[in-house]
Structure 1
Amino acid sequence: MSFDIYQHVTQTIVDAIEANPAEMQMPWHRFGGQLPENAVSGKQYQGVNILSLWCVAQLRGFDEAQWGTYKQWKEAGCQVRKGEKSSLIVFYKAVRYEDDQGEEQTRHVIKWSAVFNACQVDGYEAPTRPEMSPLERLEAVDAFVQSTGATIKEGGGRACYVPSLDEIHMPDGDRFFDTETRSRTEAFYGVLSHELTHWTGAPHRLARDLTGRFGSDRYAMEELVAELGAAFLCAKLSITPEVRDDHASYLANWLDVLKRDKKAIFTAAARAQDAVEYLSPS
């Protein structure tokens, strides 16, 4: 039987979600939001690799965001400890072939590579990272949000994206409160990031269409895209995302979709990555 990378990654994520059902939290809420990055190049992983490595970190108690192959760690002067188990990342490789008419075509084939976390190696020194002090409003983040061009109206008690008006509605800032794990600022910007991701899916932007393949699950899929987009965006902006009050009901829907379609999380993560790139063009 051939190795099924789609099934492997999806099962890793499902296992992480189900590992502590009493708390009903997604891995990125527990891990703190820092994007996983390659230990040698410093480049951040993207799409489903972010989610997969976050899940592995939660399941195995890793508290570092740096990952690398055995060879990369060796090149960095570190040694993977004997007996350590690797984790998988995926990437797509372009393959050229001739079609039935003899014309050259290109298709992308999924490949995988084994990586190890910094917690699994000897000789690694974690970089010193400045801690972000909680603020009422974050000037840099507000500037980023303004640069997206989204119309955002604050007031009332509900956060939502209204397609008919092409507006994001956010509750007043004083409706967000500190908790044991989140500041009021983190809660506010986490919810705003979720709604910004929804905003990118409008027909005249990314035209995100999850009908067809996902059928009646498209609502759960769009919410998963928004949740992943918020997690990715908050990590990019150094904000820890807030856990939704209605998280349990969404979680049940997501697990159902993931278990029935092993490629669903790949689709959701790719759409979320597209949304973040749309919001923050280079």
Structure 2
Amino acid sequence: MTTTTTHNSNATHSADFPRTPKAHQRAKGKSGTAIETRADVYTRVTDKILADLEKGVRTWFKPWSGEHLAGNITRPLRANGLPYRGVNILLLWAASIEQGFSSQVWMTFKQAQELGANVRKGERGSLVVYANTFTKTEANEQTGEDEEMQIPFMKGYTVFNVEQIEGLPAHYMAKPEPAPETAGQRDERLEQFFRNTGATIRHGGNRAFYNISADFVQMPPFPVVADRKLTHVEVVC
């Protein structure tokens, strides 16, 4: 991890969180470093979600199955295998659905280059955001002593799906085994596992959730959920 020092402040970031691309709207900090303001990032994220809503896409809903995605639906992953968190999950799920990607692995232009690969000409990247804090030291006007303050910041940057990149090592392009077709089939081992938990499991409707006050698990009817194993485990555990 490298540390970048600016005027009267220390900000720490790694290669996984690159500086904002030049194409994005920017603001100049005291050190002259180009950064994207939090308002700009909020606007872009909000605009993306609103655009999906207008198309009838509820980005924050985890689908019952991956549809065009290979294997079970998973959280988007960085180049180093770590999963994205927060709103980045929604943004990259939406990008995968919109552009038809079957892989859930993403990386920056620079990361692709470091692996000896390159983004295909004309490919359009997807927005992700990075939020953190940096420490700033200022003199207290009353005491005259230096005090440290934690200043929050947020910036957006661009990533590309591995399917938009040429020349990557083979393991980045490996696809998971397709999810087994479980519709209409019951796995007795799993049925026994859920019985052993002692949990009250009710079926009906089209939502899966745990009711804390009444202490029961609600699941849609069996035929509705193609990937029933995953959803049961998530709700019960």
TM-score of the pair, normalised by structure 2: 0.60
Residue 170 in structure 1 maps to residue 218 in structure 2: yes
Deviation at 1:57, TM superposition (A): 1.7
Matches of residues 116-135 of structure 1 in structure 2 within 5 Å? Answer: 116-124=160-168, 125=170, 126-133=173-180, 134=182
Question: Which residue is 1:104 aligned to?
Answer: 148
The 8 Å contact of residues 36 and 53 in structure 1, kept in 2 or not, is answered as: yes
CA, structure 1 residues 104+67, in 2 after alignment: closer, same or farther (shift >3 Å)? same
1:171-214 Cα offsets, whole Å, 9 max, x none, are: 5x8x3115xxx52xx24753774x66xxxxxxxxxxxxxxxxxx
Structure 2 counterpart SS, 1:15: helix
> Number of residues paired by the alignment?
180
Question: Which residue is 2:32 aligned to?
Answer: none
Root-mean-square deviation (Å):
3.6
CA distance in 2, matches of 1:156, 1:140: 16
Which runs of no fewer than 5 residues in structure 1 stay unpaired? Answer: 197-278
Question: Which residue is 1:205 aligned to?
Answer: none
CA, structure 1 residues 157+58, in 2 after alignment: closer, same or farther (shift >3 Å)? closer
Which runs of no fewer than 5 residues in structure 2 stay unpaired? Answer: 1-24, 27-35, 141-145
CA, structure 1 residues 60+7, in 2 after alignment: closer, same or farther (shift >3 Å)? same
CA, structure 1 residues 156+83, in 2 after alignment: closer, same or farther (shift >3 Å)? closer
Structure 2 counterpart SS, 1:169: strand
TM-score of the pair, normalised by structure 1: 0.52
Deviation at 1:115, TM superposition (A): 1.0
Question: Which residue is 1:73 aligned to?
Answer: 112
Matches of residues 192-231 of structure 1 in structure 2 within 5 Å? Answer: 193=234
Task: Indicate the structure with greater strand content.
Answer: 2
CA distance in 2, matches of 1:138, 1:12: 43
CA distance in 1, matches of 2:230, 2:109: 37
CA, structure 1 residues 82+105, in 2 after alignment: closer, same or farther (shift >3 Å)? same
CA, structure 1 residues 132+6, in 2 after alignment: closer, same or farther (shift >3 Å)? same
CA distance in 2, matches of 1:131, 1:68: 23
Question: Which residue is 2:231 aligned to?
Answer: 190
Question: Amino acid of the residue matched to residue 134 of structure 2?
Answer: V
The 8 Å contact of residues 52 and 58 in structure 2, kept in 1 or not, is answered as: no
The 8 Å contact of residues 28 and 51 in structure 1, kept in 2 or not, is answered as: no
Question: Amino acid of the residue matched to residue 186 of structure 2?
Answer: E
Task: Indicate the structure with greater helix content.
Answer: 1
Structure 2 counterpart SS, 1:96: strand
Question: Amino acid of the residue matched to residue 123 of structure 2?
Answer: E
1:44-77 Cα offsets, whole Å, 9 max, x none, are: 1111111101111222222221111111011122
CA, structure 1 residues 163+61, in 2 after alignment: closer, same or farther (shift >3 Å)? closer
The one of 30, 47, 50 equivalent to 2:89 is 50
Question: Amino acid of the residue matched to residue 127 of structure 1?
Answer: A
The 8 Å contact of residues 170 and 192 in structure 1, kept in 2 or not, is answered as: no
1:121-150 Cα offsets, whole Å, 9 max, x none, are: 11244114223323624968997x89xx9x
